[in-house]
Amino acid sequence: MSKRRRKRRQSYTFSSLIIAIIILVGGWFLSGGQPSDIQSFIQNISQTAFNQTKNVDSNSELAKLDYHSGEQSFIYVNHNKANLNPTKWQTNHVVYSDLDNLNRTSKGNLAYLESRNLASDENRVRQYVEPTAWHQKFVDREPIINRGHLIAYSISKGISASGTYNPSDQSGDQNNPKNLFTQTAFSNQRVQTIFEQKIRDALKDGKRVIFFSKPIFRGNDLMARGIHLEAISTDKSLNFNVYLFNVQPKVKFDYATGRSTIDRQMSVPDP
């Protein structure tokens, strides 16, 4: 696509947005809206319009992305289509990659899952592994970071630390350095869980799933900028490809070290 055509499309999109705002504002006044509230009304419309989930065509661009306060907490990669081949489903196991030279889980893990991997919480134990950039802090009495699993505990029942399936092991993966990274509480509990639930639902339906999970680091940073998740079931009914920003409301991180400062202006909307 030529630059002229791209600019023309962007111009049309912007013009359409302005027209839509004008129409909505007119309708708002007709419905009894007050002039004193017009500024916040327009701001809400604009924020909704510009915060639609974005797309990145290639996963090679992920490490270059910066998060800006108020933006969506995740984006689609490859138009939300996994770059995984469902015909490659092998025996039920997980490929846990070795840590890199900085002890980071930067290479990603690949899981071949089925329904017998669904784990209950009753076998969870205390977590003690401290991944790179682990500097816990509490803001408003809540922890800001978690031990984020690449392959979730809830979908790794019976999988040993070596990645093979052992039917006598009723627990999911725990305290495995090759499967953990320093993840914000928001990214882990409010965003990643959405996509893990999609996998759990597919497994409950008896589907087989290939799942790839990779923390994304920039250069020699010790804290991941985000995590790349993609999954596909063998019947292709489950298919997603997303990148989650590793961010936390009210907190600003130094990704080189993982240390943080309180920033009350830092806003991360719920997905």
pLDDT tens digits along 12-21 = 444 444 454 5
Mean pLDDT of the residues in the chain: 87
46 and 73 inside one domain = no
pLDDT category of residue 147 using cuts at 50, 70 and 90: very high
- Based on the fold, state whether residues 31 and 60 are members of the same structural domain: no
pLDDT at 52: 56
- Lowest mean pLDDT of 39-43, 63-67, 190-194, 259-263, name the range: 39-43
pLDDT band of 261, cuts 50, 70, 90: very high
Across 124-141, average pLDDT: 95
pLDDT bucket at 11, cuts 50 / 70 / 90: very low
Contacts of 232 (CB under 8 A, 6+ apart): 82, 84, 86, 209, 210, 238, 239
Whether residue 162 sits in one domain with residue 124: yes
Tell me whether residue 268 is in a domain: no
Confidence at residue 42, expressed as pLDDT on a 0 to 100 scale: 44
177 and 86 part of one domain:
yes
pTM confidence score: 0.81
Q: Which residues contact 52 (CB under 8 A, 6 or more apart)?
A: 72
Structural domains in the chain (count): 2
Query: Averaged over 40-64, what is the pLDDT?
Result: 61
- Assess whether 15 and 111 both reside in one domain: no
- Clarify whether residues 38 and 68 are in a common domain: no
Residue 124 sits in which domain range?
A: 55-262
Helix, strand, coil distribution of the chain in percent, nearest 5 = 30, 25, 45
Query: pLDDT at residue 100 above 70?
Result: yes
In terms of pLDDT, which residue wins out, 30 or 4? 30
Contact 224, 217 (CB under 8 A): yes
CA–CA gap between residue 144 and residue 226 (Å, rounded)? 15
* pLDDT digit string, tens, across residues 173-194: 999 999 999 999 999 999 999 9
- Whether residues 25 and 76 share a domain: the answer is no
55 has pLDDT over 90: no
- 219 burial (CB, 10 Å; 0-12 / 13-18 / 19+) is exposed
Residue 269 forms part of a structural domain: no
Whole-number percent of the chain with pLDDT over 70: 79
Handedness of CA 210, 145, 126, 130 (dihedral sign): positive
